Chains A and B, each alone.
Chain A
């Protein structure tokens, strides 16, 4: 597979009243098409900043980010973003939440887009909840709706910013499986940011380990138990070895 995302020598400084903060120092890595990659690093090292830069919500101070060979633009529509919390709009029904992005991009009257949204709802067991309000759904279902809301826009790259951190442990494991399954079956490329090594390990083909601020890429680890569901990977005998190696690189 060819490289979809490339980050070359990306630096990012931000200004505060007191001083200039160097958040990222020379970040370079690439992500292959249809790969599931994760970024792990000490808390506050700038993981979310990297996602914001890739999404075009921030502009790098130095360096270049390209998607499919062309530079990232401001609020790049080729990127889908999934946040820590589902951020479903409580005043909208599940269906209205799912087509929110289509409405924003004025594509909500295109029959093929609506058909795709319906298809995703049906495929991932949410069709019967189409007319319900978000508060009537469980945490896991809400997170699935949030993912579908992003997928409906057919992004080339999905950014996941600790999307499971607000869930309790049991739901988290289940939702991890669901999200992984959806992303793989839709053949999407995904980049997950997490502070949870097990979560990164159970979902990823590749893990990018960052140092503390100002962050640089410390190590890139290719994970080789592909093709198994995240929950099953946790029981693989290699899991512990990987975990220890990543842990050693983090501390």
Chain B
């Protein structure tokens, strides 16, 4: 096989061709099984519902979910619910990530502050944030504001702890090297600490995608008039489980979409 690589033409040996072929085959096989499992799952679910083995009222079915999504879309309300949840999640995600990194920087900067704050961080990390729900409604009122606050609370502590760990685990000899070059603390932060923590930062982003959706749905369960969490709550209250399942399906798609937007960063910063 010959392949054009920019201006070079590379010719491969037989063993290399075989090796590349195996890798490609492996990739296709994994993709094949990923799709097959998905199709089989939907197919079996649909068949079980059609033949009455499971009650579609309780378990819904792929076709009923699809119809519900189409109906909601025709109503025009679907976009409002999707947009509300997406907006709350993205705002919560961005605020929590920025604020979490900023707090981690402050705690890295001052060792004393870090030691003072350590027990508080541990307590905040172990506290189930949902317990603060009623308080949040009192503080910021119900609706979008409360959901964003919940979202931020859920993501911020873990962001702070993970980033702080990355900052303080930076090789002390590298810091010494910077100092021997006459670097001040700002230069050490911007030229060494922050860039060396980029791989950890991308992991935090990936974790926060999931966590911010948890925050949004929790917030919307507590108090909201729109959003996918609201829709799930509403569907279960009027016993229309198709709405619940349709909302969960949409949530899966949105969360996966956000994850795939963030994950290329990991490849970029992987060392």
A residues with CB within 8 A of B: 55, 57, 75, 77, 79-81, 83-85, 87, 89-91, 100-101, 103-105, 135, 153
Nearest chain A residue, comparing its CB with the CB of B177? A87
Chain B interfacial residues counted at CB < 8 A: 19
By secondary structure, the A interface counts as loop
- Shortest CB-to-CB span from B241 to chain A, Å, is 50
- Shortest CB-to-CB span from B180 to chain A, Å, is 4
Nearest chain B residue, comparing its CB with the CB of A56? B180
CB distance A83 to B177 under 8 Å? yes
Instruction: Kindly state the separation between the CA atoms of A160 and B196 in the bound complex, as whole angstroms.
Output: 25
CB distance A57 to B182 under 8 Å? no
CB distance B180 to A57 under 8 Å? yes
CB contacts (< 8 Å) of B178 on chain A: these are 104
CB distance A75 to B182 under 8 Å? yes
Chain A interface: which of B105-113, B115-123, B153-161, B187-195? B187-195
Looking at the complex, which one of B173, B187, B195 makes contact with A85 (CB distance below 8 Å)?
A: B173
Query: Is B14 among interface residues, defined by CB-CB distance under 8 A?
Result: no
* A-B pairs with lowest CB-CB distance, top 6: A81-B180, A101-B181, A104-B183, A104-B181, A90-B271, A77-B182
Instruction: Kindly state the separation between the CA atoms of A105 and B191 in the bound complex, as whole angstroms.
Output: 13
Q: Contacts A87-B171, A90-B271, A104-B191; is A81 near B177 (CB within 8 Å)?
A: yes
Nearest chain A residue, comparing its CB with the CB of B198? A91
CB contacts (< 8 Å) of A101 on chain B: these are 181-182
Instruction: Kindly state the separation between the CA atoms of A104 and B191 in the bound complex, as whole angstroms.
Output: 9
6 contacting pairs across A/B (C-beta < 8 A): A77-B182, A81-B176, A84-B173, A87-B173, A89-B192, A153-B181
Residue with the greatest number of chain B CB neighbours at <10 A, chosen from A80, A103, A104, A153: A104
Query: Is B225 among interface residues, defined by CB-CB distance under 8 A?
Result: no
CB distance B195 to A91 under 8 Å? yes
CB contacts (< 8 Å) of A55 on chain B: these are 180
In the complex, which residues 134-187 of chain B have their Cβ closer than 8 Å to any Cβ of chain A? 171, 173-174, 176-183, 187
- Shortest CB-to-CB span from B265 to chain A, Å, is 13
CB distance A100 to B181 under 8 Å? yes
Q: Contacts A83-B173, A100-B191; is A91 near B271 (CB within 8 Å)?
A: yes
- Shortest CB-to-CB span from A49 to chain B, Å, is 13
- Shortest CB-to-CB span from B271 to chain A, Å, is 5
CB distance A83 to B176 under 8 Å? yes
Count of CB-CB pairs between chains A and B under 8 Å: 49
Instruction: Kindly state the separation between the CA atoms of A103 and B188 in the bound complex, as whole angstroms.
Output: 12
Instruction: Kindly state the separation between the CA atoms of A77 and B180 in the bound complex, as whole angstroms.
Output: 7
Instruction: Kindly state the separation between the CA atoms of A80 and B179 in the bound complex, as whole angstroms.
Output: 11
CB contacts (< 8 Å) of B191 on chain A: these are 89, 100, 103-104
- Shortest CB-to-CB span from B197 to chain A, Å, is 11
CB contacts (< 8 Å) of A57 on chain B: these are 176, 179-180
CB distance A87 to B174 under 8 Å? yes
- Shortest CB-to-CB span from B244 to chain A, Å, is 46
CB contacts (< 8 Å) of B177 on chain A: these are 81, 83, 87
Given contact pairs A55-B180, A89-B191, A104-B181, enumerate 11 new A-B contacts (beta carbons under 8 Å): A57-B179, A57-B180, A77-B181, A80-B180, A87-B171, A89-B195, A91-B196, A91-B198, A91-B271, A104-B178, A135-B271
CB contacts (< 8 Å) of A90 on chain B: these are 271
- Shortest CB-to-CB span from A5 to chain B, Å, is 16
CB contacts (< 8 Å) of B171 on chain A: these are 87
- B240-257 near A? 1/0 per residue, CB < 8 Å: 000000000000000000
Nearest chain B residue, comparing its CB with the CB of A81? B180
Looking at the complex, which one of A85, A89, A91, A105 makes contact with B181 (CB distance below 8 Å)?
A: A105
CB contacts (< 8 Å) of B269 on chain A: these are 91
Instruction: Kindly state the separation between the CA atoms of A57 and B171 in the bound complex, as whole angstroms.
Output: 16
- Shortest CB-to-CB span from B188 to chain A, Å, is 9
Looking at the complex, which one of A89, A104, A135 makes contact with B187 (CB distance below 8 Å)?
A: A104
Q: Contacts A87-B173, A90-B271, A135-B271; is A104 near B182 (CB within 8 Å)?
A: yes
CB contacts (< 8 Å) of A135 on chain B: these are 271
Nearest chain A residue, comparing its CB with the CB of B183? A104
